[in-house]
Structure 1
Amino acid sequence: MQAREIEPKLKQLSRLAWSTEPALAQRLEEVRRWIKDIRPGLLTNKGVLVGFLLELIKDGEFWLKLQSLTNEEREIFLQHLPSPVIYWYENLFPKWFNENDHKFYIWKQKLRSGEFSQEDAELIESIAHQIKSRNGCVVHRYIADLSMATDVIVSSSTGKPLCVQLTTMSGELSEDKYKEWKDTLKQWEIRRGIFVSYNPSQERSVAKLVNLVLHNSNHLKEAKYIKFCFR
């Protein structure tokens, strides 16, 4: 989809959503109004912003298709999806557009101004590659990252969805961020999560992270928010 098609698509999707889910329609319209005055050429140069907008359109379309299914059709369809994907569409995504997102105003301005950078994008891509090679699943969403303190939603081939936050911070800074992270997960009623402080200079960091994530996908209990440190 080209940049000039994004604003009309958001408008179309918002109108389509009104009869099924007014809260989603309102959120889509809010985003459309927010970006409608950005010229397509300028929007094209804002890669992260475009990524978020395309992701939102994709999720909105997918969620509306789910709502169009009968209960039986929906149950059969969901059986073929990995658990993190189901968790996103059945839980976190609708929770986001139905509830007040206190961080949305802040991070959408950062996206528009180009302040937001994906410093850990390479690490996340490497982790996702290894998890998928072991038949696991990884879901990354800007909304989860920026509003829900969740870099990725992960599961092993047999495990449950696990929300994971990664940071290179250590010491007192890491502890402060951990407390904020835990509060955010509780606010969104996320029941399982791990917070990992890692040293990017360690060659074995990715392998350790993958093992840790897959283990906790299988074994972490409900209402648990655990901090790990690889230094």
Structure 2
Amino acid sequence: MQAKEVKDQLKFLISEASSIDPSLEKRLDEVYRWIKDKKNGLLNTKKPLMAFLLELINDAEVWLELQLLTKEEQQAALNLFTPPVRYWYSYLFPKWLNELDPKLYKWKPKMMGGQFTQEDAKLLTAITNEITSRQGSVLQRYVADLSMATDLIVSGSQEQALCIQFTSISEEFSDSKYQEWKTTLFKWSIDRGLFLSFDPSYPEFIKQLVNIALYNSNNLKIGSYLKFSVPS
């Protein structure tokens, strides 16, 4: 989908949402007004921005379809999703629609300005592949990453979604980032989370990260916000 199609689809979804979910209408309108006067050719060159817009369009379409169902039908539809996807649509996405996002106004200009480089994209792809190879499930969303301090939403064998942030910063600086992360999770009422710092030179660090992620997805108690380092 190119920029013009994205703009047209956003306008269509804003119209659809007006009679179904005003909170979605408001958020989509905010995003549309952000991009509507930008030249289509310019928008097409900004890959992270376009990826975010396409992701938002997809989420909005799914959300609107869910809103047209009865409560029983909606729950049945959600039960067909993997636990991370179910957690996203049943909790985090509607929470983002209905609440003030204090980080949105910081990352929007960075994304438009090309400052959002996704340096950890290869790492997160490798972690995702390792998790799925072990029959776990994963969800990645720009909003979760940039507004909710969550790189990946992960689920293991117990089918419980867990929000995780990965960072390669040194132990010296990880404490302050951990506190910021925890504050963000509290703001969004995320009831448990995992903060994983790692040394990328450590042998098989990805497998170690996935071991910790899957174990805690299955076992971490509500109200727990743990910090681990690899190597420990």
**Short-chain TM bin:** over 0.9
Count of matched residue pairs: 231
Structure 2 CA distance for aligned equivalents of residues 159 and 11 of structure 1 = 36
SS of the counterpart of 1:194?
A: strand
**d(CA) in 1 for partners of 2:171 and 2:152?**
23
Check whether the contact 2:157–2:218 (CA below 8 A) recurs between aligned residues.
Answer: no
Specify every segment of 5 or more residues in structure 2 that has no aligned partner in the other structure, as ranges. none
- Greater alpha carbon shift after TM alignment, 166-175 vs 71-80: 71-80
- 1:77 matched to 2:77? The reply is yes
Q: 8 Å contact 1:126–1:206 — kept in the other structure?
A: yes
Whole-Å separation in 2 of the counterparts to 1:80 and 1:135: 16
User: How far apart, in 2, do the equivalents of 1:12 and 1:78 lie?
Assistant: 24
For 1:72 and 1:97, the matched residues in 2 are separated by: 22
Alignment of 1:39-188 (within 5 A): 39-188=39-188
Consecutive unaligned residues of structure 1, counting only runs of 5 or more, are none
After TM superposition, the runs of 4+ consecutive aligned structure 1 residues lying more than 3 A away are none
Partners in 1 of 2:152 and 2:176 — Cα distance? 20
Amino acid at match of 1:106: K
The letter for the 2-side match of 1:150 is: T
Deviation at 1:2, TM superposition (A): 1.6
Of 66-75 and 107-116, the range deviating more from structure 2: 66-75
Cα shift readout 1:144-163 (whole Å, capped 9, x = no counterpart)? 00000000000013231000
**Residue 73 of structure 1, CA deviation:** 1.6
Residue 189 of structure 1 is matched in structure 2 by 189
* Deviation, structure 1 residue 13: 0.4
The Cα shift of 1:38 comes to 1.5
CA contact (8 A) 1:154 1:164 kept: yes
Quote the offset at 1:72 in angstroms.
Answer: 2.2
For the residues of structure 2 that align with 1:71 and 1:91, how far apart are their CA atoms?
Answer: 15
Is the CA contact (8 Å cut-off) linking 2:79 and 2:86 kept in structure 1?
no
CA distance in structure 2 between the partners assigned to 1:57 and 1:203 by the alignment: 39
Secondary structure of the residue aligned to 2:66 is helix
Question: 1:225 deviation in Å?
Answer: 0.3
d(CA) in 1 for partners of 2:223 and 2:141? 22
Call closer, same or farther: CA 1:217–1:120 in 2, change over 3 Å.
same
Asked if the contact 1:137–1:157 (Cα under 8 Å) also holds between the matched residues in 2, the reply is no
Deviation of 1:115 (Å)? 0.5
